[in-house]
């Protein structure tokens, strides 16, 4: 269950990539949000909006251009000793999108899952190492016997379970799941989502769930941040986001999801997003429009959105 | 209405080192002019193989074991490669999933759109060029005159898929096969491409076979739906029949595994297990091992198609008169009432 204790604080995080000699892509351009202990925070947006870059920067796969990431009260970016890094790496793990390319094809499942155990010296001997891996396999719904096999012997859904077992191997507190179900079939997606929810309950995990499938994000997340062009444009609880979307981009995104309901589909009208509707002068920042509901806007838009929300 | 396409008892196998993979095991359906049939199912259910067989685009190690594909009364399985080349792109065309790989990176976009026009419709180069510009306009690519001189890498993913649609439509095909045409695209781009396809279908009266695993997309585009599992169609009906009155437990599973936007279910209704190995299909109903409603007979005999209505058929023993009356699970019933929760009450 979500608590009021902050586990992760992201403050004005920026990630700019150099392109060619002069160009700069501002993939993530100053985003700020908190993730509370035990909650699932969803990050949605279209390809190129910076959601994956955000996840990868938080876990230090990239060095941030600017900004802070504070995990459990400690700044995780900036100069660190190897010891400190190791400690931090144990607390935070990642599950990747593509279960075909994220598992080393030349290693057995045992060695893939045990890598973290080896690095952190969590098993005293070979027997304990194997036992831990077998336990993990059972936790994620696979068999003990699977330990000696290679990744190519598994289906997509099973591979994603192996990826989850690997992330769990070091007993992390926080898991970043970057589109963990996008590559899977619908029926298998539900299996993996159920597994993630079950693990969260049992192990008190906190998730950052990155996805572009809004209906799944809504289902699994407590709160959702909508990203557009490197910024979070709206951030609130998942119910509030679906019931009272405020930012025009969020409205457009929600109106574009087809639902498995023919009658609804016959009447659905799509709202297109036109970035030029925004107030051109005035400072754009995240403002709290209602307790816990933040929207990126200027002061004038803030007043306008507030009126709209009250009239609803 | 006139039948454009009839697929009768089609079976396709692959010969591999591991033995014969029975990818398609007796598929029957028909398609009328101007109609959209969606084929849904998991990876490996045979939906793409079925469509590639209609186009006769199968790899060399595959064999059509039996069956007929009647297109305007002519059996496509009997055509030579040369005859098929005249049909492909002119009467039947295809849109593939990945716009990144289905265009030739070394040819200008214009050249690729003009190719079928010059080949099939014997247009002059100048005329084909004019038509190519019209087509790009039609699929909503601005500055068409300039864009036809560009290469695929100069287009974004959504724009590339529009180019693929333009090529597919170049000769006003009677049948368009779209194999997961929007799966690689973002939702907003997906919505645009779907609107585009429907719009063009109205103008040209083409029939569409739409292959996808996204049930939201199915509800949006389809007139009729065929659900495939392990190389067979297990349920077929109008889009309303499949979504509001599904009869096959596999269809229940597919519907139940999608989260609704308004409910707070603790757990999604997942289909347990994985699809069967088709080198050695199980005896009886292939879905039995994953089906909690499976009956004794399912392990012995494959169920025939039971008639639900004139347009609605399902292959499950649950529809047999001696079978116990089983209601779909709660989660599925809720979805049958409509995902959007505001519609459909008491009509079933």
pLDDT digits (tens, 9 = 90+) for B91-113: 999 998 877 788 999 999 999 99
B335 in contact with chain A, both atoms CB, cutoff 8 A = yes
- A277: Cβ contacts below 8 Å, ≥ 6 apart: A248
Residue A233 tokens read as 């444009």
Put simply, the answer to whether B43 touches A263 (Cβ < 8 Å) is no
Q: Nearest CA of chain A to the CA of B271: how many Å?
A: 6
A274 in contact with chain B, both atoms CB, cutoff 8 A = no
What pLDDT score does B346 carry?
Answer: 34
CA distance A168 to A166: 5
Residue A18 tokens read as 């150099």
Burial classification of residue A311, based on how many CB atoms lie within 10 Å of its CB (0-12 exposed, 13-18 middle, 19 or more buried): exposed
- The shortest CB-CB distance from A263 to any of B255, B272, B338 is to B338
What pLDDT score does B347 carry?
Answer: 35
Residues of B in contact with A242 (CB under 8 A): 261-262
- B261: Cβ contacts below 8 Å, ≥ 6 apart: A215, A218, A242, A259, B339, B340
Put simply, the answer to whether A252 touches B240 (Cβ < 8 Å) is no
Put simply, the answer to whether A261 touches B338 (Cβ < 8 Å) is yes
What pLDDT score does B330 carry?
Answer: 85
What pLDDT score does A289 carry?
Answer: 92
Put simply, the answer to whether A190 touches B257 (Cβ < 8 Å) is yes
- The shortest CB-CB distance from B187 to any of A189, A253, A268 is to A253
Put simply, the answer to whether A261 touches B213 (Cβ < 8 Å) is no
What pLDDT score does A2 carry?
Answer: 65
CA distance B241 to B280: 32
Q: Which of residues 153-172 of B touch A (CB under 8 A)?
A: 157
- From first to last of its 312 residues, chain A has per-residue pLDDT tens of 567 889 999 999 999 998 888 888 899 999 999 999 999 999 999 888 999 999 999 999 998 999 999 998 888 887 678 888 888 889 999 999 888 889 999 999 999 999 999 999 999 999 999 999 999 999 998 988 899 999 998 888 899 999 999 999 999 999 999 989 887 887 788 889 999 999 999 999 999 999 888 888 989 999 999 999 999 999 999 999 999 999 999 999 999 988 889 998 999 888 989 888 888 888 889 999 999 999 999 999 999 999 888 887
What pLDDT score does B342 carry?
Answer: 41
Any idea what DSSP says for residue A272? P
Q: Nearest CA of chain B to the CA of A216: how many Å?
A: 6
Residue of A100, A186, A192 to mutate, interface with B, max B Cβ within 10 Å? A186
Residue A7 tokens read as 């586990």
Residues of A in contact with B43 (CB under 8 A): 156, 185
Facing residues of B208 across strands?
A: B36, B176
Burial classification of residue B345, based on how many CB atoms lie within 10 Å of its CB (0-12 exposed, 13-18 middle, 19 or more buried): exposed
Q: Which of residues 106-165 of A touch B (CB under 8 A)?
A: 155-158
Residues of A in contact with B340 (CB under 8 A): 259, 261, 263-264
Q: Which of residues 269-288 of B touch A (CB under 8 A)?
A: 269-272, 274
Residues of A in contact with B222 (CB under 8 A): 262
> Closest-CA residue in chain A for B44?
A185
Q: Nearest CA of chain A to the CA of B192: how many Å?
A: 9
Buried b (16+ CB within 10 A) or exposed e, B45-74: bbbbbbbbbbbbeeeeebebbebebbbeee
Averaged in consecutive runs of 10 residues, what is the pLDDT profile of chain B (348 residues)?
Answer: 90 91 94 95 89 91 94 94 92 87 93 94 94 90 91 88 90 92 82 88 92 92 96 96 95 88 75 85 90 90 94 94 88 76 39
A262 in contact with chain B, both atoms CB, cutoff 8 A = yes
- The shortest CB-CB distance from A190 to any of B188, B189, B268 is to B268
Put simply, the answer to whether A273 touches B216 (Cβ < 8 Å) is no
Q: What share of chain A is helix, strand, coil (3-state, %, to 5)?
A: 40, 25, 35
What pLDDT score does B343 carry?
Answer: 39
Residue A191 tokens read as 């299996």
Residue of B18, B186, B333 to mutate, interface with A, max A Cβ within 10 Å? B186
Q: Nearest CA of chain A to the CA of B197: how many Å?
A: 15
What pLDDT score does A80 carry?
Answer: 75
Q: Which of residues 284-323 of B touch A (CB under 8 A)?
A: none
């Amino acid at each position: 269950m979500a608590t009021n204790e902050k586990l992760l604080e992201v403050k004005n995080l920026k990630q700019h990539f150099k392109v060619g000699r002069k160009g700069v892509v501002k993939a993530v351009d100053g985003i700020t949000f908190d993730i509370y202990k035990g909650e699932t925070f969803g990050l949605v947006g279209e390809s190129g909006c910076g959601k994956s870059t955000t996840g990868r920067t938080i876990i230090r796969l990239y060095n941030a251009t600017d900004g802070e990431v504070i995990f459990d009260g400690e700044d995780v970016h900036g100069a660190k000793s190897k010891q400190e890094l190791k400690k931090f790496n144990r607390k935070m793990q990642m599950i990747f999108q593509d279960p075909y390319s994220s598992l080393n094809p030349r290693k057995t499942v045992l060695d893939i899952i045990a890598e973290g155990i080896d690095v952190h010296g969590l098993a005293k001997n070979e027997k304990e190492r194997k036992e831990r891996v077998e336990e993990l396999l059972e936790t994620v719904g696979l068999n003990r016997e699977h330990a000696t096999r290679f990744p190519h012997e598994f289906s997509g859904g099973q591979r994603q379970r192996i990826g989850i077992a690997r992330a769990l191997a070091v007993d992390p507190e926080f898991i970043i799941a970057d589109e963990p179900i996008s590559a899977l079939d619908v029926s298998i997606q539900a299996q993996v989502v159920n597994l993630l929810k079950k693990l969260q309950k049992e192990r008190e995990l906190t998730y950052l769930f990155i996805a572009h499938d809004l209906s799944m994000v809504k289902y699994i997340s407590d709160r959702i941040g909508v990203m557009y062009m490197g910024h979070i444009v709206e951030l609130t609880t998942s119910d509030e986001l679906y019931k009272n979307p405020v930012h025009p981009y969020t409205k457009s995104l929600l109106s574009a999801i087809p639902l498995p309901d023919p009658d609804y589909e016959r009447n659905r009208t799509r709202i297109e997003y036109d970035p030029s509707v925004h107030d051109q002068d005035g400072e754009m920042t995240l403002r709290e429009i209602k307790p816990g509901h933040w929207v990126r806007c200027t002061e004038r838009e803030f007043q306008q959105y507030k009126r709209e929300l009250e009239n609803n | 209405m006139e039948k454009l396409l009839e697929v009768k008892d089609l079976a396709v196998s692959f010969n591999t080192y591991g033995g014969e993979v029975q990818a398609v095991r007796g598929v029957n359906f028909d398609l009328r002019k101007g109609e959209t049939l969606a084929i849904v199912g998991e990876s490996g259910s045979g939906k793409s193989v079925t469509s590639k067989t209609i186009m006769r685009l199968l790899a060399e190690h595959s064999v059509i074991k039996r069956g007929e594909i009647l297109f305007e009364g002519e059996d496509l399985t009997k055509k030579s490669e040369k005859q098929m080349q005249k049909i492909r792109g002119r009467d039947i065309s295809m849109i593939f999933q990945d716009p990144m790989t289905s265009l030739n990176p070394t040819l200008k976009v214009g050249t690729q759109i003009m190719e079928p026009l010059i080949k099939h419709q014997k247009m002059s180069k100048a005329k084909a060029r004019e038509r190519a510009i019209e087509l790009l306009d039609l699929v909503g690519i601005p500055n068409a005159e300039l864009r036809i001189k560009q290469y695929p890498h100069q287009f974004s993913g959504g724009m590339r898929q529009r180019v693929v649609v333009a090529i597919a439509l170049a000769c006003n095909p009677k049948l368009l096969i779209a194999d997961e045409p929007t799966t690689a695209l973002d939702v907003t781009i997906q919505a645009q491409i779907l609107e585009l396809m429907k719009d063009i279908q109205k103008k040209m009266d083409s029939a569409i076979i739409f292959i996808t695993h996204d049930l939201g997309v199915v509800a949006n585009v389809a007139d009729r739906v065929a659900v495939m599992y392990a190389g067979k169609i297990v349920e077929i009906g109008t889009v309303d029949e499949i979504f509001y009155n599904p009869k096959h437990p596999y269809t229940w599973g597919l519907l139940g595994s999608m989260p609704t936007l308004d409910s707070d279910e603790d757990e999604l209704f997942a289909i347990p297990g994985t699809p069967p190995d088709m080198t050695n299909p199980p005896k009886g109903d292939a879905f039995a091992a994953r089906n909690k409603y499976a009956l004794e007979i399912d392990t012995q005999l494959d169920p025939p198609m039971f008639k639900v209505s004139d347009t609605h058929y399902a292959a499950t023993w649950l529809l047999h008169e001696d079978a116990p009356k089983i209601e779909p699970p709660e989660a599925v019933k809720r979805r049958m009432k409509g995902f959007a929760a505001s519609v459909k009450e008491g009509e079933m």
